[in-house]
Structures are given as C-alpha cells and as structure tokens.
C-alpha cells in the first residue's frame, strides 16, 4: 500500500521540517520529495503536513504516520538483513556529542552492533567542537554533534533551539552579573552564550566550567547559575529559564552526522543511515 521511497521522503521531512533539507539528505530534488509526500498523502487519504512559507508542521495524521512509516521500513530492513546477512566488518571510530548521553542513543548503538557483529565500534564522547577537531585530524570516522556556525558539512539530523536552563529553585539577581555554567573551551554553546550576552549588553560571570554534561548538570542542579542547552535535550531536573528572567533569545542549533571522507562506504555509512532514520528517537530522553 505504501511505497518505501515515499515513506523515506516523508520521514526525512518529518525530522528536518524542511523539504529542501530532506532532499539534500536523500540525494533527491526538493520537487521529488514534494511529489513523494503528495503521493503518500493521496494513498493515505489524509493530509500529513501543514505547510506555509515559513514552516512545515506535522498534522495529527502525520504524527501517526511517522510511527507506521518507521515500522514498515524497519521490518523491510530486518528482512533484507536476514536474507542477505551483514557483510560489514572493520573498525568504526564514532564520536558523539555530550548532548546525547541521556537519550536513546545507547539503544540505537546496541541494535547496530547486534546487527553488525563483525564491526569493532570505538566510541568517543565529548563536546562538539572537540569532536570536529578530532575529525579534521583524521582520528574519527563518523561524528554526531552540533554543527558550528558557518559550517555546511554533514547531513542534518534535526534543528533545535538553544535555550537557557537551570534548576527550578535557581534564583538570579537581575542587578548582579549573570552566573554562567559553561563547557570548557572550545565549545559551541559556550561561544553562542558569550556572544549573545555581549551583543545584548548583559554582564556575566563564570560560576562553573566543566568538560562534561554531568558536570554542567550537577552545577545547575546546585543552583550555581544558568547553562545553555538544546531545548529538545534538556537534562532531567532542569528547565528553561528564559521567561522567568527575560534572558536574551539564543540561536538555533543544527545536529548533524558527518563522515570523515566524502563518499566513504562501510560501517560509517551504515551507522550514519541508522542515525538519520532514527533522529526522532534521539530527541527523547531514554
């Protein structure tokens, strides 16, 4: 009833909220993606997206279709792997941003290594900026991380908004410098936070620095100040602080998956495809 290629295009749009980005991900023209979605809507007899010049949003039926589409494609992929067998082998050096430590990424990686038992997966967790340095130095084969500003490398997994976060009991004196909890440099969120505050003329002080998300979260839970994090990945126990203290709006952030070499094949490509197909799972805490 449903064409797999149409379902793949639909899921790409559902995750990126952008027909052009979906086409770029799948290597198709934007017009082809639109055609696939229209045909899927015709077969389903339901409208799946609400589209205007500024945004793309899923309808209630679109939300339902995401679950069905993933199930259909997953079943087809499992059948294909069963009858063809996994021929992937070798070492895969995978770098992943600290942002994902509390998501369902471990579940996705467990499924990957179970399906590809001959792949030796080596995991490197760190801040996005540092992972890019490792990628550029040839120390990683694949990276899942925030994309630095003005960098167009990688395939978009999803776009989110950076926001100020803190513990519910945190109190900030508006007459004093804003207490910040930041990652050690280099850090994309650190740079965004400081540049935004400077641009809006907000005075600040660094209350805590950490090299890990667990350290940032602990300092925030202790009420030492506010941190910057992706809205869709806010750690447990913390909340958005923008409205309470009228903090300046932060920029959008893009999460991408990027391979070390253009056109590379093998384990890195297989894992990249798995991440792109399951981007919605990574946005929810595990």
Q: 36 and 94: one domain? A: no
Q: How far is CA 13 from CA 25, 66, 89, 143, in A?
A: 10, 10, 31, 22
Q: How far is CA 186 from CA 65, 149, 182, in A?
A: 40, 13, 10
Q: How far is the first Cα of the chain from the last one, in angstroms, to the nearest whole number? A: 33
Q: 18 and 124: one domain? A: no
Per-residue confidence of the chain (286 residues) as pLDDT tens digits?
A: 789 999 999 999 998 888 998 998 888 999 999 999 999 999 999 999 998 877 899 999 999 999 999 889 888 877 776 676 557 788 999 999 988 887 889 989 998 988 888 899 999 999 998 999 999 999 999 999 998 777 788 888 888 889 999 999 898 888 899 999 999 998 999 999 999 999 999 999 999 999 999 999 999 999 999 999 998 899 999 999 876 678 999 988 889 999 865 445 689 988 998 898 887 778 754 4
Helix, coil or strand: residue 280? helix
Give the helix/strand (H/E) hosting 91. strand 90-97
Residue 193: closest CA among 232, 221, 230: 230
pLDDT score for 75 = 86
Query: What count of other Cβ atoms lies within 10 Å of the Cβ of residue 179?
Result: 19
* This prediction's pTM: 0.72
pLDDT score for 86 = 59
pLDDT score for 64 = 94
Q: How many domains does the chain have?
A: 3
Residue 9: closest CA among 46, 54, 40: 40
Q: 13 and 61: one domain? A: yes
Domain endpoint, select from 84, 101, 135: 84
Residue 245: closest CA among 180, 160, 151, 157: 180
> Are the C-beta atoms of 93 and 135 separated by less than 8 Å?
no
Q: 224 and 195: one domain? A: yes
Helix, coil or strand: residue 227? strand
Query: Taking CA 159 as the corner, what is the angle to CA 137 and CA 163, rounded to the nearest 5 degrees?
Result: 95
**For residues 255 and 275, what is the distance between their CA atoms, to the nearest angstrom?**
11
Helix, coil or strand: residue 226? strand
pLDDT score for 285 = 45
Q: 154 and 274: one domain? A: yes
pLDDT score for 262 = 46
**For residues 238 and 170, what is the distance between their CA atoms, to the nearest angstrom?**
10
Residue 21: asked if its preceding bond is cis (omega within 30°), the reply is no
Domain endpoint, select from 66, 84, 102: 84
pLDDT score for 284 = 52
Host domain of residue 274: 90-159+254-282
pLDDT score for 221 = 96
List the CATH number of the domain containing 36.
1.10.10.10
pLDDT score for 265 = 65
Q: 155 and 172: one domain? A: no
What six digits make up the tokens of 74? 């997953």
């Amino acid at each position: 009833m449903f064409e797999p290629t149409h379902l793949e295009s639909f899921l790409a749009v559902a995750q990126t909220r952008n027909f052009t980005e979906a086409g770029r991900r799948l290597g198709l023209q934007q017009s082809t993606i639109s055609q696939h979605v229209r045909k899927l809507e015709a077969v389903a007899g339901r409208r799946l997206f609400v589209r205007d010049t500024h945004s793309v949003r899923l309808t209630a039926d679109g939300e339902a279709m995401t679950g069905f589409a993933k199930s259909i494609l997953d079943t087809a992929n499992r059948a294909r792997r069963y009858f063809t067998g996994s021929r992937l082998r070798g070492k895969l050096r995978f770098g992943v941003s600290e942002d994902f430590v509390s998501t369902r990424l471990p579940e996705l990686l467990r499924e990957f290594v179970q399906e590809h038992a001959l792949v030796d997966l080596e995991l490197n967790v760190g801040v996005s900026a540092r992972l890019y340095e490792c990628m550029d130095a040839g120390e990683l084969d694949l990276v899942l991380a925030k994309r630095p500003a003005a960098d167009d490398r990688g395939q978009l997994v999803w776009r989110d908004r950076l926001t100020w976060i803190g513990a519910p009991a945190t109190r900030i004196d508006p007459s004093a410098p804003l207490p910040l909890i930041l990652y050690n440099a280099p850090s994309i969120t650190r740079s965004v936070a400081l540049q935004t505050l400077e641009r809006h003329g907000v005075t600040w002080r660094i209350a805590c620095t950490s090299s890990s998300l667990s350290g940032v979260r602990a300092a925030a839970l202790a009420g030492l100040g506010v941190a910057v994090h992706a809205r869709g990945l806010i750690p447990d126990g913390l909340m958005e602080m923008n409205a309470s203290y009228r903090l300046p709006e932060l920029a959008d952030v893009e999460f991408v998956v990027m391979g070390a070499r253009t056109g590379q094949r093998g384990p890195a490509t297989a894992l990249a495809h798995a991440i792109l197909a399951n981007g919605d799972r990574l946005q929810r805490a595990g």
